[in-house]
A = this chain, B = another copy of it.
Amino acid sequence: MWCKKSFIYKFKNFFNLTIQKKYSVIASVLENANIGENAEVRGWVKNLRVQKELIFADVNDGSCAQKLQIIIPKELKTDALTYGSSVHIRGKLSKSPRGQLELVAENVEVLGPCVVLDGYPFNPRTTHPPEYIRQYIHLRSRTNYLSSILRVRSSITKHIHDFYSSKKYLNVHTPILTSNDCEGAGEVFKVQPDCEDTIKAMMQDGKDKDTVYFGSKTYLTVSGQLHLEAICRGMGNVYTLGPTFRAENARSRLHLSEFYMLEAELAFCYSLEQLQNHIEELLKYIFIETRHTNEADLSLIDKENSKPPAWLQKKFATLTYDEAQDILKKKKVVNTENGLNKEQELALVDYCNGAPVFIVRWPKDLKSFYMKECQDDNTKVEALDLLAPITGEIVGGSLREDDYDRLKSKLPSDKLNWYLELRKFGNIPTGGYGLGLERLLQTMCGITNIKDTLPFPRWPHNCSM
């Protein structure tokens, strides 16, 4: 049985144990700083100031945004000790005249030199623009900007797992490979073995290259929702966090070919309001926790982040789709196509003073087959989009059609008979949503281009590394 108290106790003990190692990461040195004690750190020189008798080196090891100032007596300086080099420093912790923690070096070892003139693309005391940094994907984690984003991304991931764990949600690893194609609207990637010998060896009558390996055409997932529903109808509340794929030919600051989606399915979910409250709680939890764990990173990514957004203290607004359209007409932000385009989404966020806003009760024709019709209006479905600053849509969700016969009449393919059959035995009402992790990072950190929210972005014409 899951026992929180013993878990936290053990976790603490475990933690104490691990800090008794030989050297410490800088985050730990800063947390447990004891002036006068010996310390040993390893990292990279981010800045170097040479004075008469002393050299000041700012060293960072990736464990936090902060740099530890190292005081190096001139006799310990070697030619290899430059900006960008990796170093191992032994010394004593001290306090600077300004009260800042610093390490007075007694031994300096340069592990790997860095000759900037030999092609290193970054310079000290320089804020390189994100477009420039993006040209050096393999080296860009060495910049302050990208390393802070990657730390925030790692923390958000942790907070997501903690949120669901505290609510006893099951973490389900939904598959990347799937034989379902009906959700991608044609924008899917297909998968085949690369090796011709494997294909030949497996070839049977009536099979082609697309179907020979798995026995059916196989795609990269566009959503884990249908799979989550299968587990939810046996085990209750579930979530998944993992990569999903779109083969769109679209290049924009908001689109990737491979991106992370957080999806959850709530068992015994009877109303959109129940789903909205849960989503609002999740988002506020992630925002608040991340401000605690990564304050320095957030400020470093964008100075605008130094204050928490005002909407954290307020209830999210809700508009019906029809109300939203009325507002947009009055604002003269119109759209010749159905649904809401990006400009309209951002206009609605603006209308709500820059706070996230739920758009609910969507026209049935604009949404997927599995969404539940509104009881009082069968032209509408119990669907929601959550719109947020910078990105517009950040969450999409709905109550699911739980009536066997009604779902049967709307099923787009016989391949989904398994999905229909979930409703046949011990059925329950469920609702769920998907949240784009990269867009969450954009909104939280003020990152204009989605390609800077993850370590190895993939988009049309680019799959480097």
Mark A residues whose CB is within 8 Å of B. Answer: 1-4, 6-8, 10-12, 14-15, 18, 23, 25, 27-28, 30-31, 42-45, 61-64, 66, 84-86, 88, 111-115, 118-120, 137-143, 147, 150-151, 153-155, 157-158, 161-163, 165-168, 170-181, 186-195, 197-198, 201-202, 213-216, 218-220, 226-227, 230-231, 233-237, 242-243, 245, 247-249, 257-258, 260, 267-268, 285, 288-289, 292-296, 418-419, 421-429, 454-456, 458, 460-465
Residue from B137, B174, B194 in contact with A455 in the complex, judged by beta carbons closer than 8 Å: B174
| CB-defined contacts of A458 to chain B, threshold 8 Å | 175, 177, 214
In chain B, what residue has the closest Cβ to A111?
B428
In chain B, what residue has the closest Cβ to A158?
B165
| CB-defined contacts of A175 to chain B, threshold 8 Å | 243, 258, 455-456, 458, 465
A412, chain B: closest CB distance, angstroms: 15
| CB-defined contacts of A193 to chain B, threshold 8 Å | 187-190, 247
| CB-defined contacts of A155 to chain B, threshold 8 Å | 2
| CB-defined contacts of A12 to chain B, threshold 8 Å | 8
Bound-complex Cα distance A171 to B158 (A): 8
Bound-complex Cα distance A411 to B418 (A): 47
A-B contact list, 22 entries, CB within 8 Å: A1-B30, A10-B288, A44-B234, A62-B267, A112-B427, A120-B425, A138-B419, A142-B425, A150-B235, A151-B170, A154-B170, A158-B161, A173-B260, A177-B257, A179-B463, A186-B195, A189-B191, A191-B191, A194-B219, A201-B249, A215-B462, A218-B463
Bound-complex Cα distance A292 to B247 (A): 44
In chain B, what residue has the closest Cβ to A268?
B42
Residue from B43, B154, B293, B465 in contact with A171 in the complex, judged by beta carbons closer than 8 Å: B154
Contact B215 A176 (CB under 8 A): no
CB-CB under 8 A for A25 and B247, given A42-B267, A154-B171, A173-B260: no
Interface centre among A213, A248, A293, by most chain B C-beta atoms within 10 angstroms, is: A213
CB-CB under 8 A for A171 and B187, given A1-B30, A3-B293: no
Contact B421 A139 (CB under 8 A): yes
Known: A15-B166, A141-B230, A187-B198. 18 other contacts (CB 8 A): A3-B293, A10-B288, A18-B167, A25-B236, A63-B236, A63-B237, A139-B425, A147-B234, A151-B170, A157-B173, A158-B171, A180-B465, A190-B193, A194-B219, A213-B460, A214-B257, A215-B463, A243-B243
| CB-defined contacts of A268 to chain B, threshold 8 Å | 23, 42, 88, 111
| CB-defined contacts of A112 to chain B, threshold 8 Å | 423, 425-428
| CB-defined contacts of A161 to chain B, threshold 8 Å | 157-158, 161
A2, chain B: closest CB distance, angstroms: 5
Bound-complex Cα distance A161 to B11 (A): 12
Contact B142 A1 (CB under 8 A): no
Bound-complex Cα distance A227 to B258 (A): 16
Bound-complex Cα distance A192 to B187 (A): 11
Residue from B141, B176, B198, B234 in contact with A258 in the complex, judged by beta carbons closer than 8 Å: B176
Residue from B18, B191, B429 in contact with A190 in the complex, judged by beta carbons closer than 8 Å: B191
